[in-house]
Structure 1
Amino acid sequence: MKFDDFDTTFDDFGTSEVITDNVSEKKQFLPWHKPRKQWIRHKQWWKQIDEHIVRKLKPGIDTIKYFGLPGNDLLDIRFFQQKLPSLEKKICLFGLINTEKGWSSAQTQLSKIMDLDGVDKSSKVEQLNFDYLENTSSIAFDKLNEFGCFDVVNLDFCENVIPNATENRLKALHNFMEYQFQKISEGWLLFITTRSSKDTTNSTLYEELVACIDENLSEEIYFQEFIRVFSNILLNNNLVVRSDLQNQKHINMLVVGLMNWLIKTAHNRHFKVKLSNVVRYDITGENTNDMMSMCFVFTRVMNFPDANPPLPTKAEQAKNPLNKLSNIKNLDDIMIEGGVEYYAQFVKEQIDLLKEAGYHTDDYLNQICTNDLEKLQTTAEHINSIMEGLEQPQPLISTEVMSSDKA
């Protein structure tokens, strides 16, 4: 299957690594190079990091410890590097890349980035697969343990968080979270980017997520909110009817199930979880909008009988984000609704990042933005003329309707 704007197939989505041996040959743009990715960096990731981590660092602490699946170009790290020096902070990266070529390319990029302010010199990228963390005796887990805990965890999967290709993903994620809960004394952030369509989903792991919904449906406070928000989901004896979960219903229950699963895992370690922000978008050209970008905030709650406030029950926590999860905004619509100048700001910032990573960007708009330009009723020439006036970073216009942080 081909994508609408790209001469690309699903095979390209295994690890978000498209490698060229020569930097001068980097002319191919991929779905994660679209301007909307810059929106995610700004409006989701950086907003959460600034609010929940940077502003809460203790005096004398200037380093944000960051775990991620950064891809071979390290574009996300370059973005954060630009933000942190003015705040007298820096990022310390521990990243995993599972191919030799991808790792080699990332090493080249990292060596350049570490010469800049805002990046800790002990940052590293290992050639390891995240799924290896399902074994706590693995080399991957040893490397993790050497590095310590993390303020920010960014699991930017180009595939499904529970992909067909492995039965180990939830175990790996569970082990990673258990590691964090035991190591960290403060709150932390988890970003997950995942597909959610049925054809990309491991049915066994999906069942594990939906079972977490069933567990909470036994609680009246959750049950009443669930049937109000998801009135189209068929229940039998307060259990989700699996055969009913097709198309959009499948997608909805994957993200709800993932939220419930995270809450259950965190609750056992006396952390509460908040879904701070979520958007969706399409990568297939079939208007499935099944790629989800989700931000979670984990907060430790003191573990003693008269703790104030006490740890909310799993059902109470899982109830709160249901309305938000039933009304996830389409990021492509947000980008278009913002208007041409709003869109151009993200284009410019994305192009600047790509240039720093060695890409030739002269044909960027024509290669990757044609559908957006058509919807905006504008041209590449017009966008270029706007970008020429954006010599300095501009405050981003806040015209989009965001998912509320009040859930």
Structure 2
Amino acid sequence: MAEPGHAEAVANLRMRVGEFVRDEVIPAELELLASGRSPTEELRRRLQKAAADAGLLSPTGPKRWGGLGLDTGAQAVILQEAGYSLLGPLALNCAAPDEGNMHLMHKVATPEQQEKYLAPLVRGEVRSCFAMTEPSPGAGSDPSMLRTSARWDGDAWVIDGTKWYITGADGAAWAICMARTPGHGDQPAGATMFLVDAGNPGMRIKRHIGSLDIGFAGGHCEVVFDGCRVSPDAVLGEVGRGFAYAQVRLAPARLTHCMRWLGLAQRSQDMALDRAAEREAFGSRLADLGMIQQMLADNEIDLAASRSLIRDAASLLDLGERASAETSIAKTFVAEAVGRIVDRAVQIHGALGISHDLPLSLFLREVRPFRVYDGASEVHRMSIARRAVQRRAAARDSK
């Protein structure tokens, strides 16, 4: 149960974030739109300093290290407000992959690792990345295909492999690298997470990968680990438990992605509503034309359904549940709903929506990859269907 005054405090914080995004962050989108490139480090630092000065930095980060320490239900409100601008999550330091890494480090890292890696991340002093995905035939939607390996050579772990499409890698101070490991002492063979500093000579960025979206600081990169030596204290958690720790990160990260993108969808709908109310054609306002009304109504339905799915999944996570099924359903629906909402907003604006006079065309490019990130929609549907079949079989067997 929420503490007395919790709802009022969240509402107040939401108002402050909304004002900050409109006054400080949305104007910065013009820089991104004009450059056609990912946010620069200078832009990130400038926006995050403004957020820190306003007392809004790192809403999901633990209080111990300077974050606001919001529970998942409050995050659903605040991250949507931050997501009203494409740069809002970056400004508040709650964007991927840093936000997911904060959660994972808070749950799994040792006190020493938290002080060295998590604390500067929460304070916005550094960025990080999560090196899991690999080029074919390596790990992608199927993590069991992991090919990057790490072996123990007596005094250090040696990592070898190539990671692909690693968001934020360029300029990240450190990476969490997933590698396959053999049995080690009494710890089983499996996958292990390693903390690798950017200055490690065995880790290098091979290239930037051109992509449909440009909204992530540091872009998307191919990263090579070649004889990358790390000490025993670089192991995050325990050897052989990497896949289990990935689940600690995945469910909340799926949901925070939904929260952020829903904010951008709401912004697109607001723009569509304004356009429909102001623009006249065929002797009436667009808002009075039946086909436009249907698009606006469908947007409202998608927004309401998305908020409900996010809220229900968030409540389960706050109760300590894994909520794997609920976050999977929310991620699949919201990813597609957001795309529909932005697309309809573009259509309502006509050529203006396609032009760079408005940010809608940029939004359209940015939200499309969400149906791939954090698990493709098809993979989630496979998982959702399997769970449904198992649940029904269990119900039949119990009768």
Q: TM-score range by the shorter chain?
A: under 0.3
Q: Which has the higher contact order (CA 8 A, sep 6+)?
A: 1
Larger proportion of helix? 2
Question: What's the TM-score, normalizing by structure 2?
Answer: 0.26
Question: What's the TM-score, normalizing by structure 1?
Answer: 0.26
